[in-house]
Structure 1
């Protein structure tokens, strides 16, 4: 066993961390044998193995909590297999586990079973898009609304709020999806055991109010409008953009806005300023 000095302590600490987080590296066997004391019941490797398994199990539990819908879609065994392989290639490198699964969509893309086939299957694309959606939910829940009042201090708009007083909630993201991800997500949350869906374009907005996330369905035109509104912060300018894009005439867009306005206010995505 090495004697600890201020010079070699950082290296020993790093090697110990690597031994716990990257148990598949053969190069660490020598470190474990040299630096970990065996007992009369367990070898050095067996001692470390207890902590290795506990660490991996904790990360797997964290992954399951971050991707509950993906876990259902894949099934427990396949999800555990993917999670274990993912954690070996993308071990945690942060003091927080909130972003542990951020690279999972890339991992799923790299390891998809039809990667070498000319004709691709649909289900890997669905799993990747679902993983991206659940990551977005995680980020939106934790997002900081810099420059805005805290969630409970925001003034929610109502039917009497004038257009010029309407402002989107600061934590909001619109989605253009290739699958009915939101319907599948809701069905899983309601324990309806939905089957894997077929490809079908869908649009949605996810927002945070009072530290709770809300999901609303959109059509393609509503998606374009809200995307414009996030950029312009002006309802009039956003309506003008739809007219310029020949999505509808001025009269048509105005009629649509009156219906959207009621829907958006009822759903809670507007504050009053």
Structure 2
């Protein structure tokens, strides 16, 4: 058996639910006095699947806490069978977990659980994203007055934006703090949660609706700073420019923005 053929046969064995080696793979191996071929292969098979489950437990710690060992492993195993690891890095194993949950479970179960999966995956994406070149208060202060009206922005590459309809943040926070896990509950008013990395630390915070609309306009609708002030007038009237500057200062201090060069 050629090396490539042996590798493919071994891969098929690892991915096989029943852990059944084909005849060619069996014949290519040599057992030892204390470990026969079947036992050795079983150890590899179990270790591989255990490693995949370990990765998902670490990436989705709040869901693991929520479901417990047995139910989480059943859900994760079903996901792995449907979406086997196809990347050389296990970092991407959980990429489709949210979508799988939405399809695998009934809507009443899947909606809050999938939102939690999206939240936990957002932290993973934020942590691994390139650093970029976020604006600072000092760089903003160095701008000439004539630059401000047409000033435009883009998000740093780590910024994740989630619409939360359940108390997912409270559940996630309880796991990190080691406090009692609260019951899942729908929010009276959905909120926007931002997740991003700044100076090697992942941060998060919720936005009020007015601030969320303003930041969305700035980042997704291409508003300039002048348009941010203008569009805030409906809510804040003559105080709109002050509110726009207050928001902008906060976003810059948080490290959310880069300058968009045209």
TM-score by length of 2: 0.80
Q: How does 1:36-185 map to 2 (within 5 A)?
A: 36-112=29-105, 114=106, 120-121=107-108, 123-145=109-131, 148-149=132-133, 154=134, 156-157=136-137, 161=141, 164=148, 170-171=156-157, 172-185=159-172
Distance 2:20 2:259 in 1: 60
Question: What whole-Å deviation, never above 9, does each CA across 1:188-225 have from its counterpart, x for those lacking one?
Answer: 21112231321111212112211221101101222221
Distance 2:66 2:225 in 1: 39
* Aligned residue-pair number: 250
Distance 2:186 2:139 in 1: 37
**Preserved CA contact (<8 Å) 2:59 2:124:** yes
**Preserved CA contact (<8 Å) 2:98 2:114:** yes
Residue 15 of structure 1 and its aligned partner are, at CA, apart by 1.1
| Matched residue, 1:194 | 181
2:16 paired residue among 23, 44, 47: 23
Residue 267 of structure 1 and its aligned partner are, at CA, apart by 3.8
| Matched residue, 1:209 | 198
Task: Please give the secondary structure, in 2, of the residue aligned with 1:177.
Answer: strand
Question: What whole-Å deviation, never above 9, does each CA across 1:51-91 have from its counterpart, x for those lacking one?
Answer: 11111111111111111112112222211221222222222
More displaced 10-residue stretch of structure 1: 84-93 or 35-44:
35-44
Distance 1:86 1:144 in 2: 28
Residue 260 of structure 1 and its aligned partner are, at CA, apart by 2.7
Distance 2:65 2:225 in 1: 40
| Matched residue, 1:234 | 224
Distance 1:30 1:196 in 2: 51
Question: What whole-Å deviation, never above 9, does each CA across 1:231-256 have from its counterpart, x for those lacking one?
Answer: 3262223444556xxx6365364354
**Preserved CA contact (<8 Å) 2:136 2:253:** no
TM-score by length of 1: 0.77
